[in-house]
A and B are shown apart, each in its own frame.
Chain A
Amino acid sequence: MTLAFVGGTHRTVPLPLRERLAFSAEQAAEALERFRLRFPGREAVLLSTCNRVELYAAGEEAATPPPAEQLVSFLAECRGIDASLLAPVLARESDEAVVRHLFSVASGLDSMVLGEPQIVSQVKQAWALAQRTETTGPLTGGMFQAALRTAKRVASETALGRERLSIPSVAVADFARGVFETFDDKRVLVIGAGKMAHETLRYLREAGASDIVVVNRTADRADRLAGRLGGRPGRFADLVTELAAADLVVSTTGASEPVVTTDLFARAELDRGGRPLVVLDLALPRDFDPAIGTRPGVWLYSIDDLGAACEANRRRRQRELPAAVAIVDEETRRFMGDLHHRTTAPVIERLRAGWTETGDAELERLFRRLPGLDESTRAEIRQAFERYTAKMLHSPLTSLRNESRSGPPHGLLEALKRLFDLKE
């Protein structure tokens, strides 16, 4: 075994225990320092996010990674938790399964929201922390680099992380942005105090919106909301005027009847000068009469419309899953092939050294018998010997590489050792 893993996620570890198990950046650094002292010569990376805590360990030959039970005890000790509580809820993997798991995690395939992109930067941070605490090495280095490459491929070759899943993000990115090129010159009108208004405004502000007016039936509430949302308060009595001036409306009142009727909107429309209007009606029951959506230049989206778009996006993400899994499988096979090939390096080195030594000895003997050879002729003969050695080694090395793709090539290595009398 060269790679080991123990870890728990939102699926396996109950929230109270996950909260106790979670590591801050400082705690993770301390834990890795402790790992380095406890298991010298081994590599380790600790990934701790709000949804998962995972310890990746690696080592070769004399310093193989600690057994899974020791890793569980180590994590429990670091966080002051009884190991018997952790043991039943932490997953354990070794070798290829570790690689496949890390590649899936980095690509967002193991996330609570399929394909969420934040995990890539969290994996990067975990690896960077391990580098700072000097618990990385060639095995974890190669594995994490390959994991980031896999995540990049999944992101660019599939649409897994592209489709938005929350109603505010879909409302702004897929619909409002389809109508408006920029938001920095647009007036945003917020009607009501629904909880989704805050989230929607966050996306709008990121898109550049800064001119925000908040109206509410209660003036005090409008003041407080405007302060909280970073806008200015407006009077509910001026709703027609505010509608006439707005380019985008986010409506989230708790009213049981439509707040904006067709009559009220018709009055506002007179002063709009033909400008388009996007209405995100996030209230239930709806704040805008649906008939307003049929007016030219009005793009009205109810919470059901946006919910349907989110659901369609979710289904599209699911459809991308097989393509993403195929990329993870391909990259896992490639990494494991390279890892197995690493084990052949000492034998290849000895084989090459043996051939080179024999060739050099023969050359020396030849040059002693032919003392009249000039330097350029000697160089030509030396190069011919080197080419011959390289060509003779090509076939066994290719066979070793090919064999490495399906696992450690123990049989071939043994055969080479016996055939060419390669000593340990």
Chain B
Amino acid sequence: MTVFLSGISVVCFAASYLVALGCEASRPFFRSGVRGAVLLGFAAAGFFAHTLFLGWRAATEQAVPLSSPFDWYLLASWLLAGGYLWLMLANPRTQVGLFLLPVVLGLIGAAQLSSRAPFPQSPATQVWGVIHGSFNLAASVAVAGGAVAGLMWLIQAARLTRKRAPVQGLRLPSLELLATTSRRTAQVAAWTAAAGFASGLVLNAVNRRRGLLETVPWNDPVVLRMGLLVAWLVVAAIIARSLARRPDAARTIAWLSLVSFLVLTGSILWGVLGPTRHGVPPGPVTAHEAAP
């Protein structure tokens, strides 16, 4: 059993999701009696392997489970993959995989580029670390989910404006559902991102007072990018709320959610590629791949 679990690699579930994405992408081109079963099989197998992989890492890592940037991205992609599976089973008449699976695969790609080394931890900061990471994770998943809903809203609205029947194999959820999802995720993303940022400040203060970790300066790239992201998400949530009773609110929120996703993507790329003191133990300053 141990050999089996330790043998599961990122490639296993990434390949499964890729096959599922291929099946989704082929829907508009031809019909098949077995595609649904193949799609569900690969998506479920990928999710199962993904779960085992994360479980195995949580059980075998020395630090708090899933605390490295690598694990963090994989956990975010796992949540989105789970959401995709749930949507596929709960509402099989609509096809959302074409939009959700690329995000899942993108996060897995980001994980591959990130450090697998866990952040240095101490019992004193562990709780704040978990809170900080969890809020940031929730914000990122909400932004990604909102962007997928927003993109689908724009495509569905374009079809309805052009007065065309749905394309074979690309039946999207209703505008009502997509608009509700975008609106709610905008609020959730803003609140959780703000909470994540605030808990990060507390964590930093605790570290500084106790000399446990290198203090992250205000001009650190991670602080800047997270600050920008939080600022944007809060502005987007305020705009979304203020437009609620206007007839063009849904379209504006859809665009806002896409911009939020671009800001998040830029923030992740900045984090993956840039140097930081975020999560660095006390000692000489070194370039370090950042956590989100």
- Give chain A nearest CB distance to B182 CB in angstroms: 14
- Give chain A nearest CB distance to B35 CB in angstroms: 10
Residue of B nearest to A159 (CB): B168
List residues of chain B with CB within 8 A of the CB of A9: none
List residues of chain B with CB within 8 A of the CB of A195: none
Residue of A nearest to B164 (CB): A309
In the bound complex, CA of A163 to CA of B246 (Å): 34
In the bound complex, CA of A295 to CA of B173 (Å): 22
**B32 contacts partner chain A, Cβ-Cβ < 8 Å:** yes
In the bound complex, CA of A164 to CA of B166 (Å): 11
- Give chain A nearest CB distance to B168 CB in angstroms: 5
In the bound complex, CA of A181 to CA of B181 (Å): 12
On whether A181 and B248 interact (CB within 8 A), knowing A162-B168, A313-B165, A316-B168, the answer reads: no
Residue of A nearest to B180 (CB): A181
**B209 contacts partner chain A, Cβ-Cβ < 8 Å:** no
Are the C-beta atoms of A181 and B177 separated by less than 8 Å? yes
Over the window 23-62 of chain B, the binary record of Cβ atoms lying under 8 Å from chain A Cβ atoms (1 yes, 0 no) is: 0000000011100000000000000000000000000000
Over the window 224-262 of chain B, the binary record of Cβ atoms lying under 8 Å from chain A Cβ atoms (1 yes, 0 no) is: 000000000000000000001111111100000000000
On whether A181 and B174 interact (CB within 8 A), knowing A274-B244, A274-B249, the answer reads: yes
Are the C-beta atoms of B163 and A276 separated by less than 8 Å? no
Are the C-beta atoms of A156 and B244 separated by less than 8 Å? no
List residues of chain B with CB within 8 A of the CB of A181: 173-174, 176-177
**A64 contacts partner chain B, Cβ-Cβ < 8 Å:** no
Are the C-beta atoms of A298 and B247 separated by less than 8 Å? yes
**B160 contacts partner chain A, Cβ-Cβ < 8 Å:** yes
Docked complex: B159-215 residues within 8 A CB-CB of A: 159-161, 163-166, 168, 172-177
Are the C-beta atoms of B247 and A272 separated by less than 8 Å? yes
Residue of B nearest to A273 (CB): B245
**A180 contacts partner chain B, Cβ-Cβ < 8 Å:** yes
Are the C-beta atoms of B31 and A297 separated by less than 8 Å? no
On whether A174 and B166 interact (CB within 8 A), knowing A181-B177, A276-B175, the answer reads: yes
Are the C-beta atoms of A274 and B164 separated by less than 8 Å? no
Interface size counted on chain A using CB atoms at 8 A:
36
Residue of B nearest to A177 (CB): B174
- Give chain B nearest CB distance to A181 CB in angstroms: 4
Are the C-beta atoms of B166 and A178 separated by less than 8 Å? yes
**B68 contacts partner chain A, Cβ-Cβ < 8 Å:** no
List residues of chain B with CB within 8 A of the CB of A305: 163
**A49 contacts partner chain B, Cβ-Cβ < 8 Å:** no
List residues of chain A with CB within 8 A of the CB of B173: 181
In the bound complex, CA of A276 to CA of B175 (Å): 9
In the bound complex, CA of A140 to CA of B40 (Å): 36
On whether A179 and B33 interact (CB within 8 A), knowing A163-B165, A174-B165, A276-B176, the answer reads: no
**A322 contacts partner chain B, Cβ-Cβ < 8 Å:** no
Over the window 407-424 of chain A, the binary record of Cβ atoms lying under 8 Å from chain B Cβ atoms (1 yes, 0 no) is: 000000000000000000
Over the window 280-311 of chain A, the binary record of Cβ atoms lying under 8 Å from chain B Cβ atoms (1 yes, 0 no) is: 00000000000000011111010001001100
Residue of B nearest to A176 (CB): B174
Are the C-beta atoms of B245 and A170 separated by less than 8 Å? no
**A157 contacts partner chain B, Cβ-Cβ < 8 Å:** yes
- Give chain B nearest CB distance to A69 CB in angstroms: 41
Are the C-beta atoms of B32 and A170 separated by less than 8 Å? no
Docked complex: A224-280 residues within 8 A CB-CB of B: 269, 272-276
Are the C-beta atoms of B163 and A301 separated by less than 8 Å? yes
In the bound complex, CA of A150 to CA of B19 (Å): 28
Are the C-beta atoms of A159 and B31 separated by less than 8 Å? yes
In the bound complex, CA of A60 to CA of B288 (Å): 83
Are the C-beta atoms of A297 and B165 separated by less than 8 Å? no
Instruction: Identify A178's interface contact among B159, B244, B245, CB under 8 A.
Output: B159
**B140 contacts partner chain A, Cβ-Cβ < 8 Å:** no
Residue of B nearest to A297 (CB): B247
List residues of chain B with CB within 8 A of the CB of A298: 247
In the bound complex, CA of A179 to CA of B246 (Å): 16
- Give chain A nearest CB distance to B245 CB in angstroms: 4
List residues of chain A with CB within 8 A of the CB of B166: 174, 178
List residues of chain A with CB within 8 A of the CB of B33: 153, 156-157
Residue of B nearest to A299 (CB): B160
Are the C-beta atoms of B165 and A309 separated by less than 8 Å? yes
Residue of B nearest to A295 (CB): B247
In the bound complex, CA of A301 to CA of B33 (Å): 34
**A113 contacts partner chain B, Cβ-Cβ < 8 Å:** no
**B156 contacts partner chain A, Cβ-Cβ < 8 Å:** yes
- Give chain A nearest CB distance to B76 CB in angstroms: 27
**A312 contacts partner chain B, Cβ-Cβ < 8 Å:** yes
In the bound complex, CA of A273 to CA of B249 (Å): 11
List residues of chain B with CB within 8 A of the CB of A210: none
**A203 contacts partner chain B, Cβ-Cβ < 8 Å:** no
In the bound complex, CA of A312 to CA of B176 (Å): 26
In the bound complex, CA of A269 to CA of B247 (Å): 9
Are the C-beta atoms of A296 and B248 separated by less than 8 Å? yes
In the bound complex, CA of A276 to CA of B177 (Å): 12
Are the C-beta atoms of A296 and B251 separated by less than 8 Å? yes
Instruction: Identify B164's interface contact among A158, A182, A296, A312, CB under 8 A.
Output: A312
Are the C-beta atoms of B160 and A178 separated by less than 8 Å? yes
**A175 contacts partner chain B, Cβ-Cβ < 8 Å:** yes
The residues of A with any CB-CB pair to B shorter than 8 Å are 153, 156-159, 162-164, 170, 174-175, 177-182, 269, 272-276, 295-299, 301, 305, 308-309, 312-313, 316, 323
Q: What 3 A-B pairs have minimum CB-CB distances, sorted nearest first? A: A297-B247, A296-B248, A156-B33
